[in-house]
Amino acid sequence: MITPKVFGFHKYLIHTKVAVPQDGSGGSSKPASPGQCPKLAVVVNNQTCTNDQIEEPQLSNWFNSNKRPDVITITDWHAPVIWQGTYNRQVLEKYYKSLNITIGLATVATGKFINLYLEQFIESADKHFMVGYNVIFYILIDDTRRIPHVELSTFRTYKMLPLRKDESVEDSDFVYMKNLNAHLIDYIQHEVNFFFVMAINQIFKSDFGVETLGESVAQLHAWWYFKNTREYPYERRTKSTAFIPFGQGDFYYHRAIFGGTPHTITTFIRQYLKGFMQDTTKELNSIYESYLNKYFFVNKPTKLLSPEYNWDPSFKTPPQIKHVKIAWQSEMT
Protein backbone atom coordinates (compact mmCIF):
# COMPACT_ATOMS: atom_id res chain seq x y z
CA MET A 1 0.00 0.00 0.00
CA ILE A 2 3.01 2.29 0.45
CA THR A 3 5.02 2.83 -2.72
CA PRO A 4 8.30 4.71 -3.22
CA LYS A 5 8.38 7.71 -5.53
CA VAL A 6 11.22 9.96 -6.56
CA PHE A 7 10.87 13.73 -6.79
CA GLY A 8 14.10 15.33 -8.02
CA PHE A 9 16.95 13.90 -5.96
CA HIS A 10 14.72 13.32 -2.91
CA LYS A 11 13.28 9.87 -2.39
CA TYR A 12 9.98 9.73 -0.54
CA LEU A 13 7.86 6.89 0.64
CA ILE A 14 4.31 8.08 0.17
CA HIS A 15 0.96 6.75 1.29
CA THR A 16 -1.96 8.81 0.10
CA LYS A 17 -5.74 8.78 0.15
CA VAL A 18 -6.93 10.25 -3.13
CA ALA A 19 -9.31 13.18 -2.67
CA VAL A 20 -11.46 15.19 -5.06
CA PRO A 21 -10.00 18.72 -5.27
CA GLN A 22 -12.14 21.39 -3.70
CA ASP A 23 -12.36 23.26 -6.98
CA GLY A 24 -13.87 20.22 -8.69
CA SER A 25 -11.37 20.47 -11.52
CA GLY A 26 -10.17 16.90 -11.26
CA GLY A 27 -6.56 18.05 -10.87
CA SER A 28 -4.44 19.38 -8.04
CA SER A 29 -5.47 22.86 -7.02
CA LYS A 30 -2.80 25.31 -6.03
CA PRO A 31 -2.74 26.06 -2.27
CA ALA A 32 -3.39 29.54 -1.02
CA SER A 33 -0.46 31.82 -0.29
CA PRO A 34 -0.04 32.23 3.48
CA GLY A 35 -0.21 35.67 5.05
CA GLN A 36 -2.01 37.99 7.36
CA CYS A 37 -4.36 40.84 6.54
CA PRO A 38 -4.10 43.43 5.23
CA LYS A 39 -1.36 41.99 2.99
CA LEU A 40 -3.16 38.84 1.91
CA ALA A 41 -3.32 37.53 -1.63
CA VAL A 42 -4.47 33.96 -2.07
CA VAL A 43 -5.35 31.52 -4.81
CA VAL A 44 -8.88 30.15 -4.77
CA ASN A 45 -10.14 27.96 -7.60
CA ASN A 46 -7.03 28.93 -9.57
CA GLN A 47 -7.87 32.63 -9.37
CA THR A 48 -5.92 35.19 -7.38
CA CYS A 49 -8.05 36.92 -4.77
CA THR A 50 -7.12 40.03 -2.84
CA ASN A 51 -8.32 41.41 0.48
CA ASP A 52 -11.27 43.02 -1.25
CA GLN A 53 -12.62 39.56 -2.03
CA ILE A 54 -11.51 37.50 0.98
CA GLU A 55 -10.82 39.25 4.25
CA GLU A 56 -9.37 37.58 7.31
CA PRO A 57 -11.63 37.81 10.38
CA GLN A 58 -10.54 40.27 13.03
CA LEU A 59 -9.44 38.76 16.35
CA SER A 60 -12.54 40.15 18.06
CA ASN A 61 -14.76 38.30 15.58
CA TRP A 62 -13.60 34.84 16.63
CA PHE A 63 -11.79 35.22 19.97
CA ASN A 64 -13.27 36.30 23.32
CA SER A 65 -10.72 36.58 26.11
CA ASN A 66 -13.44 37.27 28.68
CA LYS A 67 -14.77 33.74 28.36
CA ARG A 68 -11.92 32.41 30.51
CA PRO A 69 -11.24 34.80 33.42
CA ASP A 70 -9.48 31.97 35.27
CA VAL A 71 -6.45 31.97 32.96
CA ILE A 72 -4.19 34.23 30.90
CA THR A 73 -5.86 34.75 27.54
CA ILE A 74 -3.96 37.76 26.17
CA THR A 75 -0.20 38.33 26.41
CA ASP A 76 1.53 41.63 27.13
CA TRP A 77 2.15 41.93 23.39
CA HIS A 78 -1.55 41.32 22.64
CA ALA A 79 -1.24 37.79 21.25
CA PRO A 80 -4.18 35.46 22.00
CA VAL A 81 -3.72 32.41 24.22
CA ILE A 82 -6.08 29.74 22.92
CA TRP A 83 -8.11 28.00 25.63
CA GLN A 84 -11.30 25.97 25.39
CA GLY A 85 -14.24 28.39 25.22
CA THR A 86 -12.29 31.42 23.96
CA TYR A 87 -12.63 30.84 20.23
CA ASN A 88 -15.35 30.48 17.61
CA ARG A 89 -14.00 27.95 15.16
CA GLN A 90 -16.94 28.34 12.77
CA VAL A 91 -15.93 31.91 11.94
CA LEU A 92 -12.40 30.77 11.11
CA GLU A 93 -13.67 27.74 9.19
CA LYS A 94 -15.64 29.96 6.85
CA TYR A 95 -12.50 31.95 6.10
CA TYR A 96 -9.96 29.14 5.74
CA LYS A 97 -12.27 26.84 3.79
CA SER A 98 -12.56 29.51 1.12
CA LEU A 99 -8.78 29.60 0.71
CA ASN A 100 -8.19 25.87 0.10
CA ILE A 101 -5.13 25.88 2.34
CA THR A 102 -2.74 22.99 2.96
CA ILE A 103 -1.26 22.35 6.40
CA GLY A 104 1.92 20.36 7.00
CA LEU A 105 2.79 18.39 10.13
CA ALA A 106 6.30 17.03 10.67
CA THR A 107 7.70 14.64 13.25
CA VAL A 108 10.72 12.40 13.58
CA ALA A 109 10.66 8.64 14.23
CA THR A 110 13.89 6.88 15.09
CA GLY A 111 14.91 3.65 16.81
CA LYS A 112 12.47 2.35 19.40
CA PHE A 113 10.13 5.32 18.93
CA ILE A 114 8.99 3.93 15.58
CA ASN A 115 7.36 0.94 17.25
CA LEU A 116 6.30 2.81 20.37
CA TYR A 117 4.67 5.90 18.91
CA LEU A 118 4.59 6.29 15.12
CA GLU A 119 1.44 4.39 14.24
CA GLN A 120 -0.68 5.85 17.04
CA PHE A 121 0.64 9.34 16.29
CA ILE A 122 -0.40 9.14 12.63
CA GLU A 123 -3.73 7.46 13.36
CA SER A 124 -4.72 9.99 16.03
CA ALA A 125 -3.51 12.93 13.92
CA ASP A 126 -5.49 11.65 10.95
CA LYS A 127 -8.58 11.59 13.14
CA HIS A 128 -8.18 14.96 14.90
CA PHE A 129 -5.64 17.23 13.16
CA MET A 130 -7.19 19.86 10.86
CA VAL A 131 -10.19 17.72 9.93
CA GLY A 132 -11.60 18.61 6.51
CA TYR A 133 -8.43 20.33 5.26
CA ASN A 134 -5.61 19.28 2.97
CA VAL A 135 -2.92 17.85 5.24
CA ILE A 136 0.53 16.44 4.52
CA PHE A 137 2.26 14.46 7.28
CA TYR A 138 6.05 14.52 6.95
CA ILE A 139 7.73 11.71 8.87
CA LEU A 140 11.52 11.83 9.11
CA ILE A 141 12.55 8.25 9.74
CA ASP A 142 15.85 6.39 10.06
CA ASP A 143 14.54 2.97 8.99
CA THR A 144 12.03 2.97 6.15
CA ARG A 145 11.67 -0.82 6.44
CA ARG A 146 9.61 -0.32 9.60
CA ILE A 147 6.91 1.91 8.15
CA PRO A 148 3.48 1.05 9.60
CA HIS A 149 0.44 0.70 7.38
CA VAL A 150 -2.07 3.44 8.14
CA GLU A 151 -5.16 4.08 6.04
CA LEU A 152 -5.60 7.85 5.87
CA SER A 153 -8.79 9.84 5.50
CA THR A 154 -9.73 12.03 2.55
CA PHE A 155 -7.48 15.04 1.86
CA ARG A 156 -4.58 13.44 3.79
CA THR A 157 -1.15 12.34 2.60
CA TYR A 158 1.95 11.29 4.43
CA LYS A 159 5.52 11.32 3.20
CA MET A 160 8.31 9.30 4.74
CA LEU A 161 11.59 11.21 4.50
CA PRO A 162 14.86 9.37 5.10
CA LEU A 163 16.81 10.88 7.99
CA ARG A 164 20.42 11.53 6.99
CA LYS A 165 22.94 11.26 9.81
CA ASP A 166 25.61 13.84 10.51
CA GLU A 167 28.77 12.09 11.64
CA SER A 168 30.25 15.36 12.93
CA VAL A 169 27.42 16.01 15.41
CA GLU A 170 25.94 13.61 17.96
CA ASP A 171 23.04 15.76 19.11
CA SER A 172 19.85 14.16 17.71
CA ASP A 173 17.85 17.40 17.75
CA PHE A 174 20.50 19.16 15.68
CA VAL A 175 20.51 16.34 13.12
CA TYR A 176 16.71 16.32 12.94
CA MET A 177 16.46 20.09 12.49
CA LYS A 178 19.23 20.15 9.92
CA ASN A 179 17.39 17.52 7.88
CA LEU A 180 14.04 19.25 8.29
CA ASN A 181 15.48 22.60 7.24
CA ALA A 182 16.82 21.10 4.02
CA HIS A 183 13.44 19.56 3.20
CA LEU A 184 11.64 22.81 4.02
CA ILE A 185 13.85 24.88 1.76
CA ASP A 186 13.84 22.41 -1.12
CA TYR A 187 10.13 21.64 -1.37
CA ILE A 188 7.95 21.68 1.77
CA GLN A 189 7.67 25.47 1.73
CA HIS A 190 6.14 25.19 -1.74
CA GLU A 191 3.63 22.53 -0.67
CA VAL A 192 2.01 23.98 2.46
CA ASN A 193 0.66 27.28 3.78
CA PHE A 194 1.07 26.51 7.46
CA PHE A 195 3.42 24.08 9.14
CA PHE A 196 3.71 22.37 12.53
CA VAL A 197 6.66 20.55 14.05
CA MET A 198 5.64 18.08 16.76
CA ALA A 199 7.27 15.51 19.01
CA ILE A 200 6.19 11.99 18.19
CA ASN A 201 5.36 10.85 21.74
CA GLN A 202 1.91 12.43 21.69
CA ILE A 203 -1.63 11.23 21.06
CA PHE A 204 -4.33 13.52 19.65
CA LYS A 205 -7.44 13.26 21.82
CA SER A 206 -9.78 15.82 20.23
CA ASP A 207 -9.96 18.27 17.36
CA PHE A 208 -6.84 20.33 16.76
CA GLY A 209 -8.30 22.90 14.42
CA VAL A 210 -7.74 26.13 12.54
CA GLU A 211 -7.87 28.20 15.72
CA THR A 212 -4.22 27.16 16.09
CA LEU A 213 -3.08 28.61 12.76
CA GLY A 214 -0.92 31.71 12.75
CA GLU A 215 2.33 33.26 11.61
CA SER A 216 4.21 32.08 14.70
CA VAL A 217 2.62 29.59 17.13
CA ALA A 218 4.09 28.52 20.47
CA GLN A 219 2.96 25.83 22.90
CA LEU A 220 2.84 26.69 26.61
CA HIS A 221 4.49 24.02 28.74
CA ALA A 222 1.91 22.15 30.81
CA TRP A 223 4.18 21.81 33.85
CA TRP A 224 5.88 25.20 33.89
CA TYR A 225 2.76 27.22 33.09
CA PHE A 226 1.62 26.78 36.69
CA LYS A 227 5.03 27.65 38.15
CA ASN A 228 6.65 30.97 39.01
CA THR A 229 8.65 32.61 36.22
CA ARG A 230 11.77 32.59 38.42
CA GLU A 231 11.70 28.79 38.35
CA TYR A 232 11.71 28.44 34.57
CA PRO A 233 14.64 26.29 33.35
CA TYR A 234 15.94 28.83 30.83
CA GLU A 235 19.57 28.69 29.74
CA ARG A 236 21.32 30.89 32.33
CA ARG A 237 24.93 30.67 31.16
CA THR A 238 25.74 34.09 29.79
CA LYS A 239 28.05 32.80 27.05
CA SER A 240 25.36 30.65 25.47
CA THR A 241 23.39 31.99 22.51
CA ALA A 242 20.28 30.62 24.27
CA PHE A 243 20.91 32.77 27.36
CA ILE A 244 17.94 34.49 29.02
CA PRO A 245 18.80 36.70 32.04
CA PHE A 246 17.28 36.10 35.45
CA GLY A 247 14.18 38.18 35.96
CA GLN A 248 13.31 38.14 32.27
CA GLY A 249 11.17 35.87 30.12
CA ASP A 250 7.46 35.62 29.43
CA PHE A 251 6.46 31.95 29.47
CA TYR A 252 8.19 28.60 29.21
CA TYR A 253 7.44 27.01 25.85
CA HIS A 254 7.30 23.28 25.19
CA ARG A 255 9.22 21.68 22.35
CA ALA A 256 6.26 19.36 21.77
CA ILE A 257 4.54 21.75 19.34
CA PHE A 258 5.85 24.62 17.26
CA GLY A 259 4.01 26.08 14.30
CA GLY A 260 3.57 28.93 11.87
CA THR A 261 4.28 29.75 8.27
CA PRO A 262 7.13 27.88 6.54
CA HIS A 263 9.11 31.14 6.59
CA THR A 264 8.83 31.37 10.38
CA ILE A 265 9.88 27.76 10.86
CA THR A 266 12.94 28.08 8.61
CA THR A 267 13.91 31.34 10.30
CA PHE A 268 13.91 29.67 13.70
CA ILE A 269 15.74 26.57 12.50
CA ARG A 270 18.49 28.65 10.89
CA GLN A 271 18.96 30.60 14.12
CA TYR A 272 18.94 27.39 16.15
CA LEU A 273 21.53 25.66 13.95
CA LYS A 274 23.77 28.72 14.00
CA GLY A 275 23.46 29.18 17.75
CA PHE A 276 24.08 25.51 18.44
CA MET A 277 27.29 25.49 16.41
CA GLN A 278 28.51 28.71 18.06
CA ASP A 279 27.92 27.18 21.48
CA THR A 280 29.65 23.97 20.44
CA THR A 281 32.83 25.89 19.67
CA LYS A 282 32.64 27.25 23.23
CA GLU A 283 32.01 23.75 24.60
CA LEU A 284 28.50 24.71 25.69
CA ASN A 285 25.75 22.14 25.23
CA SER A 286 22.34 23.77 25.56
CA ILE A 287 19.23 21.74 24.89
CA TYR A 288 16.96 22.36 21.89
CA GLU A 289 14.13 23.64 24.06
CA SER A 290 16.41 26.38 25.44
CA TYR A 291 17.04 27.70 21.92
CA LEU A 292 13.31 27.57 21.20
CA ASN A 293 12.56 29.60 24.31
CA LYS A 294 15.26 32.12 23.44
CA TYR A 295 13.79 32.52 19.96
CA PHE A 296 10.31 33.24 21.33
CA PHE A 297 11.78 35.55 23.97
CA VAL A 298 13.23 37.71 21.20
CA ASN A 299 10.61 37.04 18.51
CA LYS A 300 7.27 37.03 20.31
CA PRO A 301 4.82 34.41 19.00
CA THR A 302 1.66 35.73 17.37
CA LYS A 303 -0.44 32.97 18.93
CA LEU A 304 0.01 30.79 22.00
CA LEU A 305 -1.59 27.42 22.64
CA SER A 306 -2.70 26.75 26.20
CA PRO A 307 -1.61 23.63 28.10
CA GLU A 308 -4.91 22.08 26.98
CA TYR A 309 -3.26 21.52 23.60
CA ASN A 310 -0.53 19.42 25.16
CA TRP A 311 -1.35 18.02 28.57
CA ASP A 312 0.56 15.30 30.42
CA PRO A 313 -2.05 12.90 31.86
CA SER A 314 0.41 11.85 34.55
CA PHE A 315 -0.11 15.30 36.14
CA LYS A 316 -2.97 16.03 38.48
CA THR A 317 -5.37 17.91 36.22
CA PRO A 318 -6.25 21.38 37.58
CA PRO A 319 -9.67 22.99 36.97
CA GLN A 320 -8.16 25.30 34.33
CA ILE A 321 -7.71 22.34 31.98
CA LYS A 322 -11.19 21.93 30.49
CA HIS A 323 -10.60 19.94 27.31
CA VAL A 324 -7.37 18.12 26.43
CA LYS A 325 -6.46 18.27 22.75
CA ILE A 326 -3.25 16.24 22.86
CA ALA A 327 -1.94 13.89 25.52
CA TRP A 328 1.81 13.99 26.10
CA GLN A 329 3.46 10.65 26.79
CA SER A 330 6.24 11.42 29.21
CA GLU A 331 7.22 7.82 29.90
CA MET A 332 9.58 6.81 27.08
CA THR A 333 10.09 3.15 27.86
Residue 32 pLDDT exceeds 70: no
Q: Please state, as a whole number, how many other Cβ atoms lie within 10 Å of the Cβ of residue 14.
A: 14
- CA atoms of 208 and 52, how far apart (whole Å): 29
pLDDT of residue 91: 96
Q: Kindly state the helix (H) or strand (E) to which residue 178 belongs, with its residue range.
A: helix 172-183
At CA 19, angle to CA 15 and CA 20, rounded to 5?
A: 155
| pTM of the predicted model as reported, rounded to 2 decimal places | 0.85
Q: How confident is the model at residue 21 (pLDDT cuts 50, 70, 90)?
A: very low
- CA atoms of 292 and 141, how far apart (whole Å): 22
Please give the distance of CA 101 from its chain centroid, rounded to a whole number. 15
Residue 100 pLDDT exceeds 60: yes
Residue 25 pLDDT exceeds 80: no
- CA atoms of 321 and 179, how far apart (whole Å): 35
pLDDT of residue 332: 56
For 39-90, the DSSP string reads S--EEETTEEE-TTTS-PPPHHHHB-GGG-TTS--B-TT--BEE-TTSB-HH
pLDDT of residue 43: 42
- CA atoms of 192 and 189, how far apart (whole Å): 6
Strand extents, DSSP E, the chain: 3-7, 10-16, 42-44, 47-49, 81-82, 102-109, 134-141, 156-162, 194-198, 202-204, 216-220, 253-260, 303-305, 326-328
pLDDT of residue 38: 32
Which among 35, 33, 17 has a CA at the least distance from the CA of 137? 17
* Across 28-37, 244-253, 292-301, 311-320, least confident range: 28-37
φ, ψ dihedrals at 204, nearest 5°: -70, 130
**Tens-digit pLDDT profile for residues 122-175:** 999 999 999 999 999 999 998 888 888 888 999 999 899 989 888 788 899 999
| Residues that are catalytic | 289
Residue 220 pairs with which residues in a beta bridge? 253
- CA atoms of 325 and 333, how far apart (whole Å): 23
**Tens-digit pLDDT profile for residues 227-256:** 988 899 999 999 999 999 999 999 999 999
Cis status, amide bond into 38, omega within 30 of 0: yes
Greatest Cα-to-Cα distance within the chain, rounded to the nearest angstrom: 57
- Which residues are within 8 A (CB) of 90 and not within 5 positions of it... i.e. 6 or more apart? none
Residue 262 pLDDT exceeds 70: yes
Strand extents, DSSP E, 110-215: 134-141, 156-162, 194-198, 202-204
Q: Tell me what percent of the residues of the chain surpass a pLDDT of 90.
A: 72
